[in-house]
Structures are given as structure tokens and as C-alpha cells.
Chains A and B, each alone.
Chain A
């Protein structure tokens, strides 16, 4: 089967990219470890795709460098980099069969024909495409085409596989399935995967580490848990999942807010700012809790199938509950905003 990765870390140093007067990337520094599933997550226009294309060699950085292992690959064109890409629209060659599409990179490198046959057959097998090898891309479904794009890149045994919004052309149900499949594939091969996406679920399901990008910079980088549980600032808190944000002032090892004084395990290092709590972390209590209790009124209830979202006042709080208990507008409830669940955001 395919070789294990070659233990090459990738790092980008002070990468800046400007198009005319627009700063697409502002001094990006990031290390991607060999063998990890790394995701660049951000809204459209944040520069994540540009960063991916710079790593692929399809774009040159205005300044800065890209280092793979101990080699500076910045001056190398895409054709000379041992890095392969799964394009957003897959970019399969429409006039070539599935087999020839997958063999394309190996043929470019003039690899021994017997070796090409072996690797292409293996690749088709691995992605369950054996039966389709003589078809043309337009005769395949979206999911199959995506697997062809994966096979076409992976048979080259690249140091890094780049994925540009690989699920954007799939429907929602297939997407969930493919996310897990992609994760399994990456674990099995041990190849470094770098994926670009704007879909937080995709990022959380697949990644070992996520870098959240906004406006040409990486705002926060960490494991999915770190990024979700301890969002660094308002942008990350709101982009990944939902968050209740409250204006707060530092007060005696906690904060004072319009909901009253709240204790925090990690008090803020500012005097005035925002604290956040995820809707699913707010607990609903029958009586006043010992600490951080808030008495709130139900304003509205949103049914979401497997849970309810309660909209409460004061503070416009959103609380997620799967309680059997049915609430109605006007009900008064006790909430507990646990000291460990409140996160102070950087200004």
C-alpha cells in the first residue's frame, strides 16, 4: 500500500500576499506537523484559499517563505513540489477516463509503466472506484468524482495533500459521511492533510488542529476542543458554533454583568470586555444554584428536532436544552452559568 509520510513538517514564515491594493494575507506564520489533519477555517475572503494555493505553488507570496522539511520550496513551481491538491470543483480532465485521470501525475513523472498500473489500481481500489475506471468523469456522481480527485492526488504519495473546500459540491447528507471517511483515510495513510473550509462542522469532525482565519490573519490555532471551548476572541466564539456574549467589568475574581456578578475559574486580564458562554453549557435549575445563578424569563422557544433553543431575557440569552420539560413563553427559570464555562474574550 501507500508509503507512510516522510515526516516533513511544513511551515510558512511571514507570508504576505497583496493583490493590487488589497492585503489578502498579512504576515502569516504557521507550522503544520507531519502526519496531522490541519484545517484552515474561516469565512469567504479571509485568505484561507490563497494560503493553500501558496503552499501548492499555484500562487507566489509577495514576501515570506514556505518551508517543507528543511527545504525552502518558495521558488518552486507547483509542478516541482511534492504536494498535491484536491480542487474545489475537482478539476478532473473531462476527456480522460477515470483510470487516466488517476494515472495523470504518475505519467507526467514518467514512472515505470508497471509501477503506474500497480499504484493506480491500488488507488482506485482504496477509494472504491475499481468498477468505474473506464468511465469518463461526467458519467460519475458528485461523491464518486470527489473520490477520483482524492485518488488522483494520493497515488502520487505526496508529502502533503491539500484540500480546497472538498465537500462544497456535495449534498448535506453525503457531506457528513464523507467527513468521517476523509478522517479515516487520513489516519490510515498518515499523510499530512491541509484542508480549507468555511464549514465549522467539517473542521471539527476532521481535524487534529484548526486554524481560524479572519481578514488575512490566523486568529487562533489549536485542537478542535481548544478552539471551541476556549475561543480567543469574539470572532472565533461567534464563527465556531453559537455563543452568548455579555459585556462585563472585572470584579473581585470574576465579572460584573447585567445578569449580576459572575464568578470565573479563569478571571479576565482586562478591566472591561466580553465574556462568552455556549448555549449548551448553560444549565437550567429548579431552584436557585449556589453560585452564578440567574433568574430569567422565557421569551421564545425554537424547536430544533433533537433539542430546544430557549430565548431568555434579560441579556437576550440563548440556552440549548434537550430537557423533557416543556417550557412556554413567560415561564421563569433559574439558570446556572458555571464558573468553569465562562470564557473571557480578548478585546
Chain B
């Protein structure tokens, strides 16, 4: 019954007229996306099948050479270098997301348990780092991890690094930088779920003989899954393509796909190959999110 009358937010209406109105509200946003997202993506897709001229100019001749190169095939045989960069990007983005989630749970519960007035203060403190430029924040880590400061000294004392050396560039520095950059993207949506948590479900689980782990997985996780999912997507997707932090804190050897793309469009002047890497990044991100969604559904069904 598509034309059945019903009351929606204090207004008598039908499903059909609501849909029409919804589409008209969406149209401006859709137009924007079509112009600035879909069209450029299609251009890139075409570009990734083009060839590069001697001076970096684009030659519109269909070829799959860029993808072959990405898969590691060249005139000199097969090397997994590019695949390894892609894989490392997935691992770094995944671990960054995981660490951010693990830190965000206690943080969200802590903030949600504060009295309402100081809650906003804590939330502001979570957001404050955003008031500073990302590059500056990355440089701040240089200072923190400098050889003269306690962190590096403790690490040197424990024999983890040679004494007198800084803690960067290193994978650890990359993770420190990435997690501090993305933590609020998980904490804020997760907090909004935690704040609305129905505690009676937690009590019911306790009353029904649940261990702490069971209380978390059966009563808390399903309720916070909406916020968690938003946080995971907001972190994982940009973390896959990030290049400033790994560039500054990881050094030249610790290359991620973001750096690779930047390099192709910059120094190497190889736009078609850069476009192919971008396509690979996009496909990889979509596959990862799809896998995550499947897992999410499984958890919900447990």
C-alpha cells in the first residue's frame, strides 16, 4: 500500500510524497558528488589504462601495463615491492584502527561516566589536537621522540635503540602519529553510542550469570556497534591513503601506498601509474570494508 496515509513527525503524509521530498533534499548533494567525485574517479579510471610519454606526458593509448607493473611484473622479472607496499598499508591502517578502537572504549566510558558538565570539557580535550595542523603535529612527535628526551633515553637504556639516537623514523613512530591523528574519529562516534547505552541490558547480562567478557560481547558491543562502525570507517579509509605521517615519521624506507601515489604524481611524473595505484587503493579499501561489514553482521547474530 504505497499511498497509505500515515503520520510522520506530526504531519499526515504518504510514503510516495516523503520519497519525493527526500530526493529533492538530496539532489544538491548528489549533484556535488557527481561533479567532484564520480567524474574525477571515471577520469582516473581511464587514466590508469593510459601510457606515459618520455617526459611524463600522458599518451591516450589503451594499455594494462600500469597494472602489470603494480602486480610486480616488469622487463626484469617479478618483484613483490609494490604489492608489499599495498599489504603494508592495509596492515598499518588496520592496526591503527584496532589500536584506536581499543583505546576509545575505555575513553568513551570514562567520558560518559563524568558528570554532564565536565563531559564537554573532556570531549573538547579529545578534539583539541585538531585545532593544530597535521604537519605541525607530526613535527611535534619529532620533539617528543628526540634523543634528548626520556622516551628515547628509556628505549636506549632497555637496548631497543642505540643510545643517542631518536625514536624516529620507525614503524612505532608511524603508529604513534597515526593513532594520535585518528583516535578522535573513533572516540567521538563511539562515545555517542556509549552515552545512549541502555544499562539495564548490562545489568540483565550480569544478573544472568555473565562473565565480564560475556557482558561486553553480549550487552555492550551490540549496542555500541553503530558508533563503532562509523569510527572504524572514518579511521580505516583515510588511514589507508595517508601519506604525511608515514613520510615524516616513517622515513623513506617505510613507504605506504599514499606515499607511492604522491610520488607518482610528484617526483616521478607518472600519472597513469599513479592512477592505477589509486584504483588499487580504492578497490582494496572497499574489499576491506566489505569484509568488516560481514564480520559485523556475524557479531550481531552471535
Contact B204 A108 (CB under 8 A): no
Contact B208 A84 (CB under 8 A): yes
Closest approach, in angstroms, between the C-beta of B69 and any C-beta of chain A? 47
Give chain B interface residues in 192-209, CB to chain A under 8 Å.
198, 200-201, 203-209
Knowing A91-B198, A93-B201 touch, does A56 contact B209 (C-beta < 8 A)? no
Chain B residues near A152 (CB-CB < 8 A): 208
Q: Please pick, from B200, B203, B209, B301, the residue contacting A108 in the complex, using a CB distance under 8 A.
A: B209
Contact B203 A58 (CB under 8 A): yes
Chain B residues near A87 (CB-CB < 8 A): 200, 203-204
A156 within 8 A of B: yes
C-alpha spacing A95/B301, complex, angstroms: 7
Q: Please pick, from A57, A83, A91, A105, the residue contacting B200 in the complex, using a CB distance under 8 A.
A: A91
Give chain A interface residues in 84-108, CB to chain B under 8 Å.
84-85, 87-89, 91-95, 104-105, 108
Contact A105 B209 (CB under 8 A): yes
Contact B201 A91 (CB under 8 A): yes
Per-position contact with A for B100-126: 1 when CB-CB < 8 Å, else 0?
000000000000000000000000000
Give chain B interface residues in 243-302, CB to chain A under 8 Å.
300-301
Q: Please pick, from A58, A91, A95, A153, the residue contacting B222 in the complex, using a CB distance under 8 A.
A: A95
Closest approach, in angstroms, between the C-beta of A218 and any C-beta of chain B? 24
Contact A84 B207 (CB under 8 A): yes
C-alpha spacing A196/B5, complex, angstroms: 42
Q: Whose C-beta in chain A lies nearest to the C-beta of B219?
A: A93
Q: Report the count of interface residues on A (CB-CB < 8 A).
A: 25
Contact B211 A108 (CB under 8 A): yes
Knowing A105-B209, A108-B209, A109-B209 touch, does A78 contact B214 (C-beta < 8 A)? no
Q: Whose C-beta in chain B lies nearest to the C-beta of A78?
A: B206
B88 within 8 A of A: no
Q: Please pick, from B200, B209, B218, B301, the residue contacting A89 in the complex, using a CB distance under 8 A.
A: B200
Closest approach, in angstroms, between the C-beta of A161 and any C-beta of chain B? 11
Contact B209 A58 (CB under 8 A): no
C-alpha spacing A58/B206, complex, angstroms: 8
Chain B residues near A156 (CB-CB < 8 A): 208-209
Closest approach, in angstroms, between the C-beta of A251 and any C-beta of chain B? 55
C-alpha spacing A139/B200, complex, angstroms: 20
Q: Is the interface of B mostly helix, strand, loop or mixed?
A: helix
A185 within 8 A of B: no
B210 within 8 A of A: yes
Contact A108 B208 (CB under 8 A): yes
Q: Please pick, from A56, A88, A93, A153, the residue contacting B218 in the complex, using a CB distance under 8 A.
A: A93
Chain B residues near A84 (CB-CB < 8 A): 207-208
Contact B218 A78 (CB under 8 A): no
Q: Report the count of interface residues on B (CB-CB < 8 A).
A: 18
Contact A95 B300 (CB under 8 A): yes
Contact B206 A77 (CB under 8 A): yes
C-alpha spacing A153/B207, complex, angstroms: 9
Per-position contact with B for A95-125: 1 when CB-CB < 8 Å, else 0?
1000000001100110000000000000000
Contact A79 B210 (CB under 8 A): yes
Contact A108 B198 (CB under 8 A): no
Chain A residues near B218 (CB-CB < 8 A): 93, 104
C-alpha spacing A57/B182, complex, angstroms: 39
Chain B residues near A88 (CB-CB < 8 A): 200
Chain A residues near B208 (CB-CB < 8 A): 79, 84, 104-105, 108, 152, 156
Give chain A interface residues in 25-81, CB to chain B under 8 Å.
56-58, 77-80
C-alpha spacing A104/B301, complex, angstroms: 14
Q: Whose C-beta in chain A lies nearest to the C-beta of B300?
A: A95
Q: Whose C-beta in chain A lies nearest to the C-beta of B215?
A: A79
Contact B207 A79 (CB under 8 A): yes
Give chain A interface residues in 202-229, CB to chain B under 8 Å.
none
C-alpha spacing A227/B206, complex, angstroms: 35
C-alpha spacing A92/B211, complex, angstroms: 18
Closest approach, in angstroms, between the C-beta of B135 and any C-beta of chain A? 43
Closest approach, in angstroms, between the C-beta of A120 and any C-beta of chain B? 13
Closest approach, in angstroms, between the C-beta of A169 and any C-beta of chain B? 12
Give chain B interface residues in 13-33, CB to chain A under 8 Å.
none
Chain B residues near A109 (CB-CB < 8 A): 209
Contact A58 B300 (CB under 8 A): no
Closest approach, in angstroms, between the C-beta of A194 and any C-beta of chain B? 14
Give chain A interface residues in 119-169, CB to chain B under 8 Å.
152-153, 156
Per-position contact with A for B218-250: 1 when CB-CB < 8 Å, else 0?
110010000000000000000000000000000
Most B C-beta atoms less than 10 A away, residue of A57, A84, A95, A153: A95
C-alpha spacing A93/B301, complex, angstroms: 12
C-alpha spacing A92/B300, complex, angstroms: 15
C-alpha spacing A141/B68, complex, angstroms: 61
Q: Whose C-beta in chain A lies nearest to the C-beta of B208?
A: A105
C-alpha spacing A77/B203, complex, angstroms: 11
Contact A108 B219 (CB under 8 A): no
- Name 12 A/B residue pairs within 8 A (Cβ), A-sorted: A78-B203, A79-B207, A85-B203, A87-B203, A91-B201, A95-B301, A104-B205, A104-B218, A108-B205, A108-B209, A108-B211, A108-B214
Chain B residues within 8 Å of A, Cβ to Cβ: 198, 200-201, 203-211, 214, 218-219, 222, 300-301
